[in-house]
Each structure stands twice: as C-alpha cells, then as structure tokens.
Amino acid sequence: MQPAWLKSIHHDGSQLFVSNLYPRLGETVHLRLRTGATTLIKTIYLRTFPDGEQFLAPLIPTTATAVDQWWEIDLHINQPHVHYRFLINADDGLWTYSAAGCSTAIPTDHTDFQIVANYEPTRWLETAVFYQIFPDRFANGDPTQNPGSEEFTFNNHKPQTFQWNTPPAAEQPFPLVFFGGDLAGIIQKLDYLKHLGINALYLNPIFTARSNHKYDVVDYEHVDPHFGGDAALIALREALDARNMRYILDIVPNHCGYYHPWFQAALADANAPEADFFTFTKHPDDYESWLGLWTLPKLNYRSSELRRRIYAGSNSIFRKWLTAPFAADGWRVDVANMLARQGETQMGTEISREIRQAVKSTRPDAYLMGENFFDASPQLQGDQYDGVMNYTGFTQPLWYWLTGYKEWAHSLKMHVQSTKKWPTQALIDTWQSRRAAIPWAIVLQQYNLLDSHDTPRIRSIVAGNDALHRLAVTVQFTFPGVPGIYYGDEIGMLDDPILAARGCMRWDEAAWDYDLLTFYRRLIALRQSAKTLQKGGFQILAVEEDTFVYQRMDPNGRFLIIAHRGEENRQKRPLTVSHGGIADGTLFAEYFSGQKLVVHNGELPLDQHPQGATLWQQI
C-alpha cells in the first residue's frame, strides 16, 4: 500500500503542466509538477536522457496554496523525441514518478512522459465528434441503385436487396444481404446529424466491392455504383462543406478482394507484374490471405510497384481521395496491426511510416487513424498513426468493468470469460498503462468508441441497462481523445437478432428513445464547447469497488466525473478531492440535474449515488 500523500502528485501533458505541447526542435518548454501542500518532500529532480545519458536537474518550488505546492523547471527540447520522469526525495524514501505513476521501483523508459518535437497535430480533432456509418444500413436514398440478383453469382448465391428493416432470407449468405443504403441516403440525413451535433463522419468502405461490407475491394479507384459512384461522393463532400462537416474514408491496404483485377492478373499469369503483389506458396491455388479466407488475398509490400500504386506514387490511392473533388479529411486504415506483416517479412513499421509521409505531404491536416484491437503503442509515437480505434486503451477495459472480463481470438469458438467482477483498479491500471506508453499529444487524438460494426452495440453489451449505457457515454465524452458514435446508438438501437450490430438504422421516430437522444445532444454540445474536455489534464481521484472518479482540468475550469456500476447505490459519504488540487469553497454543479455541492474540509459532500454517472462542472 502506497502512502496517501502520493495521490496528490500529478503531471501530464496538458496546459497546466507543460507550457507548449508542440515545441519545435531547439525550443525550451516550461514544466510544472503539482504535489500536496503538506507532503514530506525534500527535493524533486527532473530525470532526462539526452543522447543516451541520464541527466538530473532540481525543480524549484514555486506557488503554494492551502491544498497544493507547485514545482517548476525548464526543459530544453534538444532531440526529436524527449522523454522524462521525476525523482522525488521524501522523508519516507526515494520515489520515481513517470506517466505510469509513483513507484519505489525503477520504471522502464517507455513509461516516461514524452514530448515529440516538430509534431503537427490535427487541430480540427479538438472539437470533432465522429459518427460512424455502415453505408448499406444507414439510409436508402436512391432505390434505383440497389444491388440486383442479375449482377453475379457467388457460391451459387446471388446478391439480394431486402426491404428496409425486414429480416433477410435465412438462406442468404451474410455478405450478399443488401438493404440499399447509399451516399444519397447519407446526404439526405445530414441535417439530422447536424442537429445531433455531429461534425465528422467515419464511413465504412465505399469502394467497389461485391459484399455489403466492402472490405473485399475490387476497385480502389472508384466508389461502388450501388452507393452512387464517384459523383455521389463529390455531392457528399459539397453537402458536408455546406454544413461545416468533415469525413474520413475506410481503406483496406492489407488485402483486397479475390476478384480485384490485380489478383485476377496474378492468378492468370505467374509472371504478371501483379503477381508480385501477392504471396503464392504454390501458384495459383495456394496463397497468403487474411486469416485464411480465400476471398481476401493478402497484399505483399515487398513489391515496390504495389507501394507506388497504394501510397507512394503521385496519383496513388491514399493520395487521390484526399484531393479535390473528393477531398476526404483522412483515413481509417483497416487491420493496421496486421499491415505488411507476413511471417519472416515484418514491414509494418516501415510501411506505416511511408503511408504517413504520403498522407501528410498530400494533406497536412488529414487524420490518419488505424484499426488495432491490441497494444498499439509502437504505432503511436508520432511517426505513424495520429490515433487508433482505442479498443485497448479505452473501450474494452470499460466493457469489462461494466459486464465482466472476457477474451476472444479467431482460434477459439467461445470466449475465455471470468464469472467475477473485474476490479475497478484493473480498469484504472489498464487505462493508465496505455496512456503512459504514448505521448500526450497522441493521447488527445485517440478515437474513443463504445462499439462499432465489428462489436456488439453498447446497448446490447449492457443488456439494455439505460443507466450503464449513459455511464459509458458520459465517460466517452469526458475522456482524453476524440469521441466517435456508432450510428443508431443515440436512439437506443440494440443488436439485430440476425444482422447483429449492422442492423438498419431506425428511421421510424416512434421507435426512438428521445430522452437518450437528448442526452447525447447535450453531451456532444458540451464536448464541443468545453476546452477543458478537449485538451485538459486527466487525473484519477478515487477508486472504489464499484466506483471510480476522475477530473479533467485546465486554466479554463474543471470537471469531476463520478461513475458507479453497482445495482445498489453508493452510500452517502464524502469524496476526498483535496489531492486533486481542489480547494475548500470550490463550487460544483451537476451538468444534467443542476444540483450544487461545495467542497468542505477537502471533501465533496456526496449524497447517495445511483447506478450511472454524474458530471460535475466547477462554477
């Protein structure tokens, strides 16, 4: 058990603690560290590692209040990637404080606080709230474009378009089930999204493919005709511009579809230029594919010509769609954790860096976001992705805390699952370990989601529990990073019995949960107006069996978020907040109820707290 006074120590990359998060090489940054006012600290040293050698420099104690003491020092940014920690000499021993927290043990350097020199953030992400759309299931704007059964045959089945929101035929293969959603439908619903507060769209793949999900792309150069073709994307861009909204596209550079002309050329001729785009063990029938699925042959990035066509060339796919008239605002890269990795060939880092260079040289403010269900920290050091779909750093730990820990892999037919509650401390430790491994500038760009087309819907994860759903959304919109909503979550959609998370959007307003919709609107509005939630610091204040509390803070203000998962109320008892630098007399108002509380004797006098979350704003 650590001594209680350590809870008062805090530093992160936000404005209260770092004078400039985006310095140029050669500049000096002013650092601040906050400790409690009555701690046993003698001296504090900044530990840096210039050019591979340890360097220690003492901090100077400066401002002191009734609840805290500030320590300060200048840090010269003398190399592209600067990492640092603090060494605290106290009456009870020496403590090391890094982004992983305080410890008597000596941490590895990868948990140090980090500043990346010359890093250019994607600044429009600060106010972005994304809305993810699976195009075939969102809105059918032009039924004349619906896929028809005469187009092709696959395994003795033909594509079929079903009436909106009706169950598909049981014998119809899942990839060939269509409902006619298209880009015209998205355009027609933009005013709904604008009223919700959405200002950025993430579209699942829209390029020509045979399936409803389009991850089996057969033409990277054109929008699928069933979505309206290239002209429809130009029209969407114009409609978004008129509403000051953005969009990013989904690309699959790891593999293509079996019927892509590249692969067909490779099958037909082992000496064709495109044959080098793939890995054949025995031509033509034995080749590398994504997770062994023959319909998704894996691309081989040892081919310089493939790299030229995908991202390196001036008219490459990654570059083309970022420029007019399509002018996408960024990319989501499918299975970014697997890209350019095949056994002894491990080119993922090299290819991701080159993709970043191509994207940023084409459009410097483009958002480059990857899919990664696992530890993505190696990809999040400022030289590859701006962010990832933050499954391990946000989403999955929150799921496990709400409903129980479980693991799954493609090699298993069932989940590995615990029957015990996942400890709150495990949630907090997991979150912290993921944040500690990447620079704070990158933390702020993570795509924080509660669900997606690849997972159950959040409403189904919590078994329809409205309080837990709202808890999850409150945390999502107040957590460091960029919030992204999966279509229909805001009206209370559950998984479809047949289509799971990819059910048709419910446009019958009689089926909407209007109270939930209003709740989403209010949180979106707050997230877009409160700079504290966009860029402020993050500190855990309390960890209890069924409850956690954190604050977001900056010079503009402070928020407290209290999340309680228990079916029984958290009993009435005060919440200690003085270790967060919160002085007596500080007044908070709960954002939704308007209830007011004043800090007294270092504590917030909390009444019973029901299942769910409350959001307290300093006023």
Active-site annotation, residues: 334, 371
Q: Which residues contact 129 (CB under 8 A, 6 or more apart)?
A: 197, 198, 199, 200, 482, 483, 484, 485, 524, 527, 528
Classify residue 211 as exposed, middle or buried by CB count within 10 Å of its CB (0-12, 13-18, 19+). Answer: buried
Q: Which of 598, 551, 541 is nearest to 606 (CA)?
A: 598
Q: Are strands 387-388 and 367-370 parallel, antiparallel or unpaired?
A: parallel
Q: Which residues contact 52 (CB under 8 A, 6 or more apart)?
A: none
CA distance 101 to 96: 8
Angle at 515 between CA 514 and CA 516, to 5 degrees: 90
Are 153 and 160 contacting, i.e. CB atoms less than 8 angstroms apart?
no
CA distance 230 to 319: 16
Three-class SS state of 606: coil
CA distance 446 to 41: 35
Q: Which residues of 160-180 are buried (b: 16+ CB within 10 A; e: fewer)?
A: bbbebbeebeeebeebbbbbb
Distances (CA, A) of 27 to 19, 76, 273, 607: 11, 6, 49, 49
Q: Which of 388, 369, 367 is nearest to 434 (CA)?
A: 388
Give DSSP secondary structure letters for 509-569: GGGS-HHHHHHHHHHHHHHHH-HHHHH-EEEEEEE-SSEEEEEEEETTEEEEEEEE--SSP
Are 96 and 102 contacting, i.e. CB atoms less than 8 angstroms apart?
yes
Distances (CA, A) of 46 to 86, 97, 135: 5, 10, 51
CA distance 204 to 133: 6
Query: Residue 170 phi/psi, 5° resolution?
Result: -60, -30
Q: Which of 295, 52, 196 is nearest to 517 (CA)?
A: 196
Tell which phi-psi region holds residue 333, choosing left (phi > 0), alpha (psi between -120 and 50) or beta.
beta
CA distance 506 to 509: 7
CA distance 458 to 582: 34
